[in-house]
Structure 1
Amino acid sequence: MVYKVLYQENPLEIPVREHSKSLYIRAKSEREVRQLLKEKNINIEFIQLLDEAHLAYEQQSEFFQVEND
């Protein structure tokens, strides 16, 4: 399963949508996503499981790259 993670680079920053960044990560659960990202010093705003249609849409972006593939 592929998850989309919205985050702030500064872990002390209050989430502001205009400053949000995203990354994609393959994992079995949201808990696993959090465990894989705990070493990064980021403020996780939202984790979303991508269904097939949403994943196909995201893959069209030139910035799409799954982190742990």
Structure 2
Amino acid sequence: MIYKVYYQESEKQVPVRENTKALYLKADSEREVRQKLKDRSIHIELIQELHGQYLSYEEKQENFEVLE
């Protein structure tokens, strides 16, 4: 499954919508996504599973790159 992770680069600052970034990650569950990202110093806002038309839409975006 492919997950889209919305995050802030600093876990110490207050989240600001304009600074929210996204990355795509291949994993079997949301828990696995969190495990894969635990070593990064980021503040995770939302983890969203992508499938169907949502995944098709995201694949067409120029910044779509799936991390393992």
Match of 1:39 in 2: 39
Question: Number of paired residues?
Answer: 68
Identity of aligned residues (%): 53
Give structure 1 stretches of 5+ with no counterpart: none
- Within 5 Å, which residues of 2 pair with 1:1-69? 1-68=1-68
User: Under a length normalisation based on structure 2, what TM-score does the superposition of the two structures give?
Assistant: 0.95
Q: More strand by proportion, 1 or 2?
A: 2
Residues 16-52 of structure 1: CA distance to partner in whole angstroms, max 9, x if unpaired? 2111000000000000000000011100000000122
Q: CA RMSD in A?
A: 0.7
Residue 62 of structure 1 deviates from its aligned partner by 0.7
Could you tell me how far apart the structure 2 residues matched to 1:54 and 1:45 are? Answer: 19
